Amino acid sequence: MSEALDLATLVGFVGMACIIAAYAYLTWKDDPNPFVLHGTNLIGAALLTVSLLVHTNWPSLVLEGFWAAIALWGLAKAVRERRSRS
C-alpha cells in the first residue's frame, strides 16, 4: 500500500475517529449525553460516507447509511425525551 493519502481518505479517517470516540464515550461514561453520543456518531457516519463516495465500497457505504439512520433515531428520541421532561 504505497498510495498517498488523499483528502477523501483523510476525511474518512476523521469520521472513523468520531465513531470510535463515540463508542469509547459510551463505554466510559456512566450516564452518557445522547446528543454527544448520537451526534458524534452521525458526524462520523457522514464523514465516512464522503470518503466512501469517492472510494466506493458498497457494503461499507450501506453500513454507514444504517449507522446514520440509527444516530438520527437516537437524536430524535433524545429530543422527544427532553421535551417530555420540560
Q: What is the pLDDT of residue 86?
A: 85
**Secondary structure of 19-34 in the HEC alphabet?**
HHHHHHHHHHCCCCCH
Q: What is the pLDDT of residues 1-21, one digit of tens each?
A: 567 799 999 999 999 999 999
For the record, the C-alpha cell of 57 comes out as 465500497
Q: What is the pLDDT of residues 34-72, one digit of tens each?
A: 999 999 999 999 999 999 999 999 999 999 999 999 999
Cα–Cα distance between 57 and 80 in angstroms, integer?
A: 35
Q: What is the pLDDT of residue 3?
A: 72
Chain-centroid distance, C-alpha 84 = 26
Cα–Cα distance between 34 and 77 in angstroms, integer?
A: 9
Cα–Cα distance between 7 and 13 in angstroms, integer?
A: 10
- Looking at every residue in the chain, the average pLDDT score rounds to 95
